[in-house]
Copies of this chain bind each other. A is one copy, B any other.
Amino acid sequence: MHRTKVKVVEGVLDANDTLARANRADFDRASVTVVNLMSAPGAGKTTLLERTVGDLDGVRVGVLEGDVQGSLDADRLSALHVPVTQINTDPGFGGECHLDANMVRSAMPALPLEEIDLLVIENVGNLVCPAEFRVGEDARVMVSSVTEGEDKPLKYPLMFRACELVIVNKVDLLPHLDYDLDLFDYHLDAVHPGVPRMLVSARTGEGVEGWRDWLVEVARRRAPVSA
Closest to A129 in B: B97
Q: Provide the residues of chain B in CB contact with A70, threshold 8 Å.
A: 154-155
Closest to A145 in B: B147
Query: Copy number in this complex?
Result: 2
Q: Which residue, of A70, A148, A178, has the highest number of chain B Cβ atoms within 10 A?
A: A148
Does any Cβ of B come within 8 Å of A18's Cβ?
no
Bound CA span A1–B149, Å: 70
Does any Cβ of B come within 8 Å of A72's Cβ?
yes
Q: Provide the residues of chain B in CB contact with A69, threshold 8 Å.
A: 154-157
Number of interface residues of A (CB under 8 A): 36
Q: Provide the residues of chain B in CB contact with A129, threshold 8 Å.
A: 97
Closest to A187 in B: B72
Closest to A47 in B: B149
Does any Cβ of B come within 8 Å of A40's Cβ?
yes
Given contacts A67-B155, A97-B97, contact A148 B72 (CB under 8 A): no
Q: What distance in Å separates the Cβ of A159 from its nearest Cβ neighbour in chain B?
A: 9
Q: Which of A10-55 contact B (CB under 8 A)?
A: 40-42
Interface stretch (choices A78-86, A119-127, A213-221): A119-127
Chain A contacts to B: CB under 8 angstroms: 40-42, 67-70, 72, 95-97, 124-129, 132, 145, 147-149, 151-152, 154-158, 170, 172-173, 176-178, 203
13 interchain pairs (CB within 8 A)?
Answer: A41-B127, A41-B148, A41-B156, A42-B145, A42-B147, A42-B148, A68-B156, A69-B155, A69-B157, A95-B132, A97-B129, A147-B147, A173-B176
